[in-house]
Structure 1
Amino acid sequence: MDRTQKLVTTALLFFSLPLFTTAQSDAHYWTNQFGAKGLLLNGAVIASTEDESAIFYNPGAMGNGEEFGLSLSFFTPTFAVLRTKDYLGAGSIVRDKNLGFASGYGAIGFKPFKSEKLRASIASFSRYRSDLRLRAREVGNVENQSEMLFLGDLEFQRSLSERWWGFGLAYRVNENLSVGATQFITFHSENTSLTIQKEIVHKDNPYELLLGWRSKFKYSFSTRGGLLTKFGLSAKLGNMKIGLVATTPTYYNYSGSAGYDLADLKSYGRDSTVLLSNLTDAEVKKFKSPWSVGLGLDFTIKKTRVSFSTEYFRKIPRYAIIEDTDDPFDGLANGGREQTTVVQTENQTVLNVALGLQTRRSEKSTIILGFRTDFNQRIIGQDLQTLNFLSTTPSVFHFSFGGLFTFKNSQFSMGADYAFGRKKTDGRLVDLSNITPENLFEFSGEGSVKSRYQSVVFIFTYDFILKSWKERKRKNGGKGAGGD
């Protein structure tokens, strides 16, 4: 197989990467990691990346790559469990389990114009991916009303996806210094819905509604053609490697769309019902991502290579994604009926850290350990508290173990990552276990809510290095890597 055929095969593999992934956690800044070492070192690769994941982690490190390289992370089964206790009432437990795949990653690196100073790379991957779902129902006796029953239903879903495509270029100043930049184009979509139903009926005739409240709110938005840039520097000082990286906010979106669906039905009895509803399209007012800066160190202690990375994400002040004023009756009802719907968000400052250890067992195998933090950046606002609370998961700590194995011109990694997180929130935002006529039309309840998150990711990645293939070809007298 000649080089052209290899490039065609590589391109087919790259662009046929599976785009479907699922995750039971919220999309934190460091939820997803990419590439062989990015996964096993848990992101401690700002100064340590040696494959095509450099286009994302540190564009400056691309300048140290080979003539041609390929990185694929395409088979990473994930099992995750999100457990929420006391959210629907004292003693209630809601579990959300999922078996899916972590975000895939594909990148190609090459030297344009046969230059020894320049190196380019192209990448495509799911930067964020989240799919949270909760469904629950509570039925019981109304306190101090022995002839009445209450029924409480909750259904929640939030899905988020953000795809990045990038082109990076690095310049190798000398053997100890390289600088680079990557231009990314992003595609973001988000869909969130919450339906709560609370009813009181008579035991003798449960099909007749005495009091009832059905509330639904759903919104979605997407942006296309978002632009952001990542700058990187990779340096070597004696035995130590240093990496610096900075990522701009999204400074331009080519287009965007949004919409929302709301309904609020309150029944106070047979002759008293209040209905509010609307279903309409809207505009994306704005969508923001944070400034971030990162630092990486890589050095050796005896036989162990130590990798450290940290990244600081700047706060995003509260802003409106959707702010729309609309008449649900299209002006046909008497009087002014316009209503304003606002969806806001806010992200707090986050500082994540990662630590990785590499011990080489032989020329063809390396044992790798990794740890990282993955703090939740989202802030629960005062509006839509119930929906915002369900949209977030605890901050998470990751532990990974695995190996890196070399075979001919290929490099494989295999391992696993275990993640754990928990949080406790004061103030129960929904209480479906103690519905009475007095609190039927309220969200809040007394008590705290506990959430626990666990996940296991099985890691398998592949890297192809053309230089190794060429060296074997020369050793075999020009017969190719296999010597045929």
Structure 2
Amino acid sequence: MPRFLLLFSGALLWSYCLLAQDAHYWSSNYGPSVLLTPGSVIASSRDSGVLFYNPALLSLSNKNRIAISSITANIYQLEAIKVTNGTGAGRHLRSTSMRIVPQMLSGSISLGKKAPVVIAYALINSPGFRFLSSQRRDERFNVLDDDYSPGPEYFVGDYVVENRVSETTALLSTGFKLTPKLSAGISVEGQIHQQHYSQTSNARALANSNIDSSQLPLVSTNTYYLANYVQAGLRFKAGLAYDMGRHHLGLVVSSPLVRLWGRGSIVADEEINNLRLVPDADIFLSLLANTRQEGLRARWRMPVSIAAGYALDFRRAQLYLATEYFFRVKDYDILTPRKEAFIRPDTGINNTETYSLLRLHDARKAVMNVALGASYQLKPSITAYASVRTDMSYADRALNADGTTSYNAYWNNVHLALGANFKRQKFNFRTGFLLSYGLTHKYPQDINFDMPAEENFLQGNPVNTKARRLGAGFMLSYIHNL
């Protein structure tokens, strides 16, 4: 088979992929207060029972004379995703998940009396991302060229995708005062990030009988791709907080994620049977490709980000405004396959294309998120909270190159949160309800069963379509003060 035909077939079959990561930075709720009032944890907070996003605010917790506090938080989460016409007209991709997530266990200690230093520690479990969906077409219609398979053929197409992302973070922070009005703080985060992604696509057409079609009973393309990896890394944050009476300002700078260790694996299989790529030519393509590569070096990145917040005090209320800008991430490999033989028979040059066909990679555009929140003291023991925040997607198909990309969600989310804090002498009880909505009309299909044909490898002609995400979460948090 000519080399250009081999490369052409491989590029088309592996160019489509369902992106394998929830492509949002503010989907994960960083502690109880962030779920309800994002702005308060950058610029100001009126209670000490909070794991601060801005470590500089830890120094202010001494105003309540609390020596030790501990926090536990659980999230009850429901998520529903629908990709309209995800694999063709009327063939939607749906995924629904319901989970109970123990989100956080944390505490803080105040050391010293005249110039106290507060140290906070935490173990945080992100709710993560789950997507599992499948679709199928089983009909008789015209798929193959009539000159050798006249009339409609029996066609069966299957598509299955699974994506799971989870993240656990251990955090250590400290905050201290530089001047009576200016505070500073630093945080160190140890993070374990895991991802499992698999995709299966099968398309088969049974050729009709003709002069010599007995040798071509089945025309098919089948692909399977599986990627698993786990990585441990470190991230650092530095924060400043400035108080001017009723006005409060905050600034946080987060470093890139520093990789400590990471390993992963790739399993791939591709098969082509009796596919005629050139009309009116008796050239039929059959191809087999298979590999299993373990012990691959894994690397998952987080970009530099800058967050700023402003809070304004009223007699019984407080308004919050926060924003965070995440820098772009240039294309890089999460998993780089070894240049081993993939396509059979091996002509001696096939392994040069293994990298471009099998790599799991990532590329992100820069995004900025904005949050607006408010709190109101209904009575000395009860404070109500409300907030709304954006959660922009960094996914961009224009940034993609060869291989399989690492994210899934193209929709921009909006999160609305309502909740209350109930204060007692020895503890605070905080509860909140979160609603999320995401929408895009430019979700790129990865396969389309509407018009499968030999020239498109029975995969159809993918187009952009509509995708929607609905989410609801209920949080319970218990803060015990000693």
Name the TM tier (shorter chain): 0.7 to 0.9
Secondary structure at the aligned position of 1:464 is classed as strand
Q: Answer whether contact 1:42 1:399 (CA < 8 A) is retained.
A: no
Residues 1:274 and 2:273 aligned together: no
Residues 1:198 and 2:203 aligned together: yes
Residue 91 to residue 53, structure 1, CA distance change in 2 (3 Å): same
1:295 deviates by 0.8
1:448 deviates by 3.0
1:304 deviates by 2.8
Distance 1:93 1:170 in 2: 50
Note the 1:96-135 alignment, pairs <5 A.
96-102=95-101, 104-112=103-111, 116-127=115-126, 129-135=128-134
Distance 1:269 1:324 in 2: 28
Residues 1:189 and 2:194 aligned together: yes
Distance 2:130 2:444 in 1: 25
Moved more, 182-191 or 354-363: 182-191
Residues 1:210 and 2:218 aligned together: yes
1:331 deviates by 12
Distance 2:265 2:414 in 1: 35
2:7 is matched with: none
TM-score (norm 2): 0.82
2:88 is matched with: 89
Note the 1:156-171 alignment, pairs <5 A.
156-171=161-176
Residue 269 to residue 286, structure 1, CA distance change in 2 (3 Å): closer
Q: Answer whether contact 2:173 2:188 (CA < 8 A) is retained.
A: yes
Secondary structure at the aligned position of 1:325 is classed as coil
User: In structure 1, which of residues 421, 426, 440 is the aligned counterpart of residue 457 of structure 2?
Assistant: 440
Residues 1:72 and 2:72 aligned together: yes
Amino acid at match of 1:434: M
1:222 deviates by 1.9
User: In structure 1, which of residues 24, 30, 35 is the aligned counterpart of residue 26 of structure 2?
Assistant: 30
Residues 1:155 and 2:160 aligned together: yes
Residue 287 to residue 215, structure 1, CA distance change in 2 (3 Å): same
Q: Answer whether contact 2:56 2:241 (CA < 8 A) is retained.
A: yes
Moved more, 333-342 or 369-378: 333-342
Secondary structure at the aligned position of 2:375 is classed as strand
Unaligned runs of 5+ in 1: 1-23, 467-484
Identity across the alignment (%): 19
Distance 2:348 2:401 in 1: 27
Q: How many residues align?
A: 434
Residues 1:362 and 2:379 aligned together: yes
1:457 is matched with: 473
Residue 25 to residue 35, structure 1, CA distance change in 2 (3 Å): same
Secondary structure at the aligned position of 1:62 is classed as helix
User: In structure 1, which of residues 209, 223, 236 is the aligned counterpart of residue 231 of structure 2?
Assistant: 223
1:259-284, Cα deviation, whole Å (9 max, x unpaired): 11111100117996310110012532
Distance 1:421 1:25 in 2: 15
1:186 deviates by 1.4
Secondary structure at the aligned position of 2:58 is classed as helix
User: In structure 2, which of residues 25, 36, 43 is the aligned counterpart of residue 40 of structure 1?
Assistant: 36
Q: Answer whether contact 1:345 1:379 (CA < 8 A) is retained.
A: no
> RMSD across aligned C-alpha pairs, in angstroms?
2.9
Secondary structure at the aligned position of 1:104 is classed as strand
1:177 deviates by 2.5
1:369 deviates by 1.1
1:51 deviates by 3.8
Distance 1:122 1:250 in 2: 19
Distance 1:424 1:84 in 2: 10
1:82-113, Cα deviation, whole Å (9 max, x unpaired): 01112211232221111113560121100236
Residues 1:290 and 2:303 aligned together: yes
Distance 1:400 1:336 in 2: 56
1:312-344, Cα deviation, whole Å (9 max, x unpaired): 111111112222333248999674552323222
Unaligned runs of 5+ in 2: 1-19, 144-149, 210-215, 277-283
2:58 is matched with: 62
TM-score (norm 1): 0.82
Secondary structure at the aligned position of 1:111 is classed as strand
Secondary structure at the aligned position of 1:37 is classed as helix
Amino acid at match of 1:325: R
Residues 1:314 and 2:327 aligned together: yes
User: In structure 2, which of residues 408, 414, 418 is the aligned counterpart of residue 401 of structure 1?
Assistant: 418
Q: Answer whether contact 2:170 2:190 (CA < 8 A) is retained.
A: yes
Q: Answer whether contact 2:21 2:165 (CA < 8 A) is retained.
A: no
1:117-170, Cα deviation, whole Å (9 max, x unpaired): 211111111257212111111212223765412111111111112221111111
2:256 is matched with: 249
Q: Answer whether contact 1:43 1:372 (CA < 8 A) is retained.
A: no
Q: Answer whether contact 2:421 2:430 (CA < 8 A) is retained.
A: yes
Distance 2:349 2:400 in 1: 27
1:17 is matched with: none
1:391 is matched with: 408
Secondary structure at the aligned position of 1:135 is classed as strand
Secondary structure at the aligned position of 2:456 is classed as coil
Q: Answer whether contact 2:92 2:135 (CA < 8 A) is retained.
A: no
Moved more, 312-321 or 262-271: 262-271
2:281 is matched with: none
1:264 is matched with: 270
Residue 257 to residue 241, structure 1, CA distance change in 2 (3 Å): same
Q: Answer whether contact 1:303 1:359 (CA < 8 A) is retained.
A: yes
2:13 is matched with: none
Secondary structure at the aligned position of 1:268 is classed as strand
1:70 deviates by 1.4
Q: Answer whether contact 2:428 2:478 (CA < 8 A) is retained.
A: yes
Distance 1:452 1:162 in 2: 24
